[in-house]
Amino acid sequence: MIKHYISLVFIFLLPFASEAQDAHYSQYFNAPLSLNPAFTGYYDGKHRLATNFRNQWMGAGDPFTTATVGFDTRILAQQMDKSMLGVGLVLMGDRTATGAYNSNYASLSTAYHQALDEEGFQHLAVGFQGSIGTRMLDYNRVSFNNQFASRGFDLSLSNNENFVTRRSAYVDFNVGLMYNYLKDRNRFFIGTSYYHINQPKMSFLGNDEYMLPARATVHAGASFLVGAQGELFLSGQFMNQAGVNSTTFGFAYGFSPYQMDDNNVFYAGLFYRNQDAVYPYLGYLLNDVQIGLSYDINTSGIQTGNRRNKSFELSVIYHFFDPNSTRRVMPWY
């Protein structure tokens, strides 16, 4: 019975969905193409495959589940010299209210990284994304008041709701800018991105059109060696969408059991998202595969409703390395 009510609440909020925030990851640093299209093609190796999975508010009946797969590579390497040109593809699926409301998109991404010095230690990048998205409402998965009978909810009864369509499609555009400095194991980067430039319109009711609000983000990070076997990572981001601000910052420490071994590294860190959650981060890099785990501990007012409202997140990144090239580990983006 509780799940019926939870799903029903989300359905009633659907007309305002376009004024809410996009699905986001706590491990934003491990979701490069979802954070800034200017990250496209900036990595160590020949190609990169990044996957992310998030289960949010698990104690509230599985209301949010998000998954992303992204792949990017570099092209025209011989003509670029120290500069780089990257292309990529991102697929995202977001499920709300146990599948009653689903959002999906596919994005093509490209970025040009202009070298600012002869050695290629500094780059200034500009990136673009074009997306095709759909939002689908499956009201057969939820119950409405007029479907309540003497023995409970009867889904065979009409819901008498005036939904004009179950599916809304849109075209979307994003842009990003970023500065990168990387020399030896010292790194600094700062970037900004602007998503939903055209603020596409979408509606299920037909009588009103709601626009997907633009999302502006500023992010930065740095890393440097600590001793012979350690490395410290600092990261933060500020995001604004539909008048709602979100600030996240934190750190992680990477440690290799063997001196200067880039094939076997453990990571542990802690992050804080302002007025929302604090979350520990654990990661492990083994050869070409990097795995990250985080667990949000809710600090907002929703915790009083259900103290089990936690969120779990998993990231897996695979770098396709050329065995003949010099390898520089860049575990954060």
Whether the CB-CB separation of 300 and 310 falls below 8 Å is answered with: no
Is the model more confident about 36 or about 9? 36
Is the model more confident about 151 or about 247? 247
As a whole number, mean pLDDT of residues 55-84 equals 81
3-state SS, residue 16: helix
pLDDT band at 98 (very low <50, low <70, confident <90, very high): low
Q: What percent of the chain has pLDDT above 70?
A: 73
Question: Is a pLDDT exceeding 90 seen at residue 279?
Answer: yes
Where residue 308 falls (left for φ over 0; alpha for ψ -120 to 50; beta otherwise) is alpha
Give the pLDDT confidence score for residue 49 in this predicted structure. 95
Whether the CB-CB separation of 96 and 61 falls below 8 Å is answered with: no
Tens-digit pLDDT profile for residues 213-223:
999 999 999 99
3-state SS, residue 228: coil
pLDDT band at 17 (very low <50, low <70, confident <90, very high): very low
Backbone angles phi, psi at 210, to 5 degrees: -110, 140
Backbone angles phi, psi at 163, to 5 degrees: -85, 120
Tens-digit pLDDT profile for residues 134-147:
888 766 666 656 65
Is the model more confident about 193 or about 183? 193
Give the pLDDT confidence score for residue 236 in this predicted structure. 96
Backbone angles phi, psi at 196, to 5 degrees: 65, 55
Mind listing the domains of the chain with CATH numbers?
2-320 (2.40.160.40)
